[in-house]
Amino acid sequence: MRLGCGAFAAGCVAVEVLGVALFLRGFFPPPVRSSSQPAPPAAPEPSAGASSSGTKLLPPLFGKVVVMLIDGLRDDFVFGSKGVKFMPYTTYLVEEGASHSFVAEAKPPTVTMPRIKALVTGSLPGFVDVVRNLNSPALLEDNVVTRATAAGKRVIFYGDETWVKLFPKHFVEYDGTTSFFVSDYTEVDDNVTRHLDKVLKRGDWDVLILHYLGLDHIGHISGPSSPLIGRKLSEMDSILMRIHTSLQSEEREALSPSLLVLCGDHGMSESGGHGAASLEEVSTALLLTSSAFSRKPGEVRPPERVQQTDLAATLAVGLGLPIPQHSVGRFLFPVMQGRAMREQLRFLHLNAVQLSRLLQASNPVYEREPGFEQFKMSERLHGNWVRLYLENNNSEVLLNLGAKVRRQYLGALKSLSRAVSSQVAQYDIYSMVLGTVVVLEVLALLLLSIPQALGAAAELEVPLSPVCSLLFYLAFLLLWAMHVVVCTSAERSRYLCSLTWPMAGGVLALVSALLCGVLSALTRTCVDGKLLRRNPTPSSWRWSELDFLTLAGTAGHVLSLGASSFIEEEHQTWYFLVSTLCLALCHESYRACFLGEDGEPRHCSSPASALQDRSVSCDVLELDQACQSPSSLDGLGGREKYMALASPWLVLGCCRLLRSLNQTGVQWAHRPDLGHWLTSSEHQAELSILSALSLLAIFALVQSRCSPLSKGALALGLLGVYCYRTATGHLLFPWQQDSKDLSRGIIEARFVYVFVLGILFTGIKQVLKSQVLTADVQAKTVGLWDVHSALVLLAALLFRPHNLPVLLCSLLTQTLMARFLWRPLGHGAAEVTIMHYWFGQAFFYFQGNSNNIATVDISAGFVGLNTYMEVPAMFLTAFATYAGPVLWASHLVNFLSWEPSRCSSSSVPQQSGHAPQVRSSLCQGDRKAIWRWGGPASATRCSAPSRCPPTSSWSPPCATTCSSGACSPRSSSTRACTCSSQPPSACASPPWAGPAPRQTLGE
């Protein structure tokens, strides 16, 4: 059976997607859920003759509960030196008041929404929740707030809007503040505090939740060591004091104790972000205060480390509600310490039953868990204790037994909680392995069949021989046996085992079929290789040092991703690779200039002198000469040649500068860098000058190849970018001294958007026109460049001002590389593609990004937006984050399409009368000769039979001279042109093949 190459590619993509999906399903297992059924009734108190009162829940411990959640409240802001200095009242409560303090450990991802969910449900939200962080759908999972509302409690909420989205119908009163404008840290908190006086005076509520965002925003703007942090902490301390004193005075009237909880949702890294798993990001302060707590005076203990998920169970118990079904936490026992033994044991029992139910749902062999055995034993002992108690036995025995049961329960809770939480973090290895195998098989198949698959009309032989089918059945049976063994012995539920038999069989059949395909392709390649060796034909290409470098570098980078440190510090890999690449290019350009093909030294100046004589036409002799050294710099003039020699060094210099602009990664992220220096308020003038110069240089680099209309739009757009940044107060306007009225620059930003869309529209229109109506190469080139410049303009708008040099260096590198190195040295499409990929990755990190989600600059998402709009905000944030790779990809498209169209061998109308080799060398010679001399004089010699369909709509000076076939400018400055004919050998060889074969006319 034969398969067209389009169908083959589509099939590969489909199977690849399937493999990746299977891997991800194993890598991000869905969170543990016991069942979607309504919550089971509360477990009765274990006792011999179960009394009816045992099944009822206990009355709430606290009349009123206030939760004061401060976003980004790291533990040392309360318990460390900062707390002592800026939060005197809180420190007093921690050290002397009736309170219990803890360091609550948040599980990654340390992002607000998953953390809020963890606080109210007690379960562990997965990484999928990060994506939903910006726009959270209503929380349907069992949680404390829903339970409280269902029990008739009145819940009031002020603060981060996320809560309102999670609980749209739960609060009797609420005021959500949007967390989207990170730059504001005063108003977000004032919006919460202004309600306090009114609410604290009223007594018509049971639960009050306050979520303060200012501290987190300060962290995002200026990091945890900013002086603003101290001021914010003092503000929070005074608010806490207000709430606490008000609660205390109310308690005296109401006679029921109330609970005040101070907590954070996550910490803050040393750079001020959050999202990852560093100690600073996961450690948050947790302080519970209530007059009900019995605490001996002078008893100061360091805060105990607990899990953030423990708070949900504690709040539920405190409010007299059932513990949320999916909670993996255990309640904070110190809260209970003053209560009667029977109550204590009852609460411990309820928590243990809830955890054991969750364990049973998630682990098929739960009986083997030590925590479960311990729980069963405690339950038995508990029963004995209740029997003794009901017999009114108040002896020492009862007391001792009670203490023993309590110890047992606490131990059981600990192991149960650990067992249930670890269930969440466990990967489904089986799915991951199978997914990886599928991906690797497709990759191998692609690599082995690329030579056959390249041509547009190529067909692939699908092996259906008996040997293959035998192999297929064998592999399938083997895999099936393995599947049965894995699924019957699994301790946990595995995704593939939960599939129906035909589905699982289909996946296994796919794996075996791919295996057969790979093996047959492999044998065919080997056989072909042997045949080739028996009939030696001239090898079409040879490996250069650069090929080795790009291949080894790419493979090395892939291997490096196996270690977590290399992922955290991935920027170092890219910086190293890019610098090495620059040195290799430098080596190559020097060799091309100073050494001949045979390695002999030669003089650079001779072609330059020849260049002066413009009347020289490229006759056969010169064609020959040029053909002998196609990858030399002879084609460049004297000044350009020096630029070619200097370019790698210039790019290296740019890279060094950018490295110190933004520190990134994990280990050295806190180090001072140029970016911090520039963004500090004392250096606003320097930043303004730098930004203005960068914008001017960006315009200079981009405009030369734009259409005139786009040129004007680009200039106005870049001016708009500067105005936008002055409007937001980042930059100074030279003739506007007072910057009193700061707006959000909505108008300026929208002004720039109009130009971006305008240029984009012009570019796309031109490309479409050249594709559909006229086969105009130049219109297409200009159109593509317009699209590129629109992207540059958008990036300039979204980048923070101190990052504008990154954009400038990116454009500068592209120009230098393309003009002085890639084109003159004749790098192949594959090499250039890999180099673009490398630079794109390096510029991703130069921007200050890392693999840590904390470095995503979400402020880019509200440039020019009044309110939060999901789709544009997501798009803008994604574009600003990946601007580096995107701009390099767009440049690659421009670069490759600027080359004379690469005609594939199949689309070439064959011409008779010329031996292919002679033709190819002629063509090759043409290219080089024109490249060397430029101008119409040389173009008259473009007599190589063209193999491309003639294109005629555009007629620059050189076009008239090509007998047939397109002529396109090689360089805008020299107006050198070339015919778009290609040697057949270059057409047939794979795109990675690099420089075309070096042949001379004499061959």
Interface residues with Zn ion (CB under 5 A) are: 71, 112, 216, 265
Q: How far is the CB of 311 from Zn ion (least distance, A)?
A: 15
Q: Which is nearer to Zn ion, 108 or 934 (CB)?
A: 108
Cβ at position 136, least distance to Zn ion in Å: 12
Q: Which is nearer to Zn ion, 70 or 208 (CB)?
A: 70
> Beta strand pairing status for 155-160 and 2-4?
unpaired
Least Cβ distance, residue 843 to Zn ion (angstroms): 25
Report whether 420 contacts 484 (CB < 8 A): no
CB of 879 to Zn ion, least distance (A): 21
Distance from C-alpha of 206 to C-alpha of 62, rounded to nearest angstrom: 9
Closer Cβ to Zn ion, 266 or 827, answer by number: 266
Q: Which residues are within 8 A (CB) of 459 and not within 5 positions of it... i.e. 6 or more apart?
A: 2, 3, 4, 5, 452
Query: At closest approach, how far in Å is the CB of 163 from Zn ion?
Result: 12
Q: Give the residue with the Cβ less far from Zn ion, 45 or 216.
A: 216
Nearer to Zn ion, 71 or 237 (CB): 71
d(CA 951, CA 960): 11
Helix count and strand count (H, E) for the chain = 39, 12
Contact in structure between 961 and 939 (CB atoms under 8 Å):
yes
Q: What distances in angstroms separate CA 611 from CA 267, 928, 942, one per listed residue?
A: 66, 14, 18
- Which of 228/715 has CB closer to Zn ion? 228
Least gap, CB of 216 to Zn ion (angstroms): 4
CB 269 within 8 A of CB 276: yes
Closest CA to 804 of 838, 846, 750: 846
Q: How far is the CB of 540 from Zn ion (least distance, A)?
A: 55
358: enclosing H helix or E strand: helix 341-362
DSSP class of residue 965 equals S
As measured in angstroms, the least distance from the Cβ of 994 to Zn ion is: 48
Q: Which is nearer to Zn ion, 270 or 597 (CB)?
A: 270
**For residues 72 and 371, which CB has a smaller minimum distance to Zn ion in the complex?**
72
What are the Cα distances from residue 564, in Å, to 126, 156, 269, 279? 20, 43, 18, 16
At closest approach, how far in Å is the CB of 265 from Zn ion?
4
Cβ(495)–Cβ(429) below 8 Å:
no
User: How many angstroms separate the CA atoms of 79 and 100, rounded?
Assistant: 12
**Shortest Cβ 223–Zn ion spacing (Å):** 12
**Minimum gap (Å) between residue 544 Cβ and Zn ion:** 48
Min dist CB 72 to Zn ion, Å, is: 6
Q: For Zn ion, give the closer residue by CB, 112 or 136.
A: 112
What would the two tokens of residue 1000 be?
């001379």
Q: Which is nearer to Zn ion, 269 or 938 (CB)?
A: 269
Find the shortest distance in angstroms from Cβ 60 to Zn ion.
29
**Residue 63 CB, nearest approach to Zn ion (Å):** 29
Rounded to whole angstroms, the Cα distance separating 451 from 991 reads: 10
Q: Which residue's structure tokens are 């042109």?
A: 977
- Report the residue number, 777 or 856, with the smaller CB distance to Zn ion: 856
Spell out the SS3 assignment of 679-725.
HCHHHHHHHHHHHHHHHHHHHHHHHCCCCHHHHHHHHHHHHHHHHHH
Query: What SS3 string covers 889-944?
Result: HHHHHHHHHHCCCCCCHHHCCCCCCCCHHHHHHHHHHHHHHHHHHCHHHHHCCCCC
**Closest CB to Zn ion among 235 and 265?**
265
Place of tokens 């995503």: 856
DSSP string, 730-749: SS-BTTB----S----HHHH
CB 74 within 8 A of CB 275: no
Nearer to Zn ion, 112 or 938 (CB): 112
> In this complex, which beta carbon is closest to Zn ion, that of residue 278 or of residue 924?
278
Cα–Cα distance between 586 and 580 in angstroms, integer?
A: 10
Nearer Cβ to Zn ion (213/593):
213
Smallest gap, in angstroms, from Cβ of residue 417 to Zn ion? 24
Nearest Cα residue to 362 out of 174, 492, 455: 492
Question: Which residue, 213 or 706, has its beta carbon nearer to Zn ion?
Answer: 213
Kindly report the number of other CB atoms within 10 A of residue 50's CB atom: 13
Residue 770 identity: S
Q: Quote the least distance from Cβ 183 to Zn ion, whole Å.
A: 12
Q: Measured from the CB atom, is 71 or 568 closer to Zn ion?
A: 71
Q: Which residues pair with 976 in a beta bridge?
A: 971
- Give the nearest distance from C-beta 717 to Zn ion in angstroms: 31
d(C-alpha 144, C-alpha 644), whole Å: 68
Phi, psi at residue 289, to the nearest 5°? Answer: -125, 135
**Rounded (10°) CA dihedral 620, 621, 624, 628:** -160
SS3 content of the chain, % helix, strand, coil (to 5): 60, 5, 35
Q: Which of the 8 DSSP states describes residue 264?
A: E
Output the residue with the shortest Cβ distance to Zn ion.
Answer: 112
Dihedral angle of Cα 341, 346, 352, 356, to the nearest 10 degrees = 150
User: How many CB atoms lie under 10 A from the CB of residue 715?
Assistant: 16
Residue 264 CB, nearest distance to Zn ion (Å)? 8
261 vs 654, beta carbon nearer Zn ion: 261
User: φ and ψ at 503, to 5 degrees?
Assistant: -65, -50
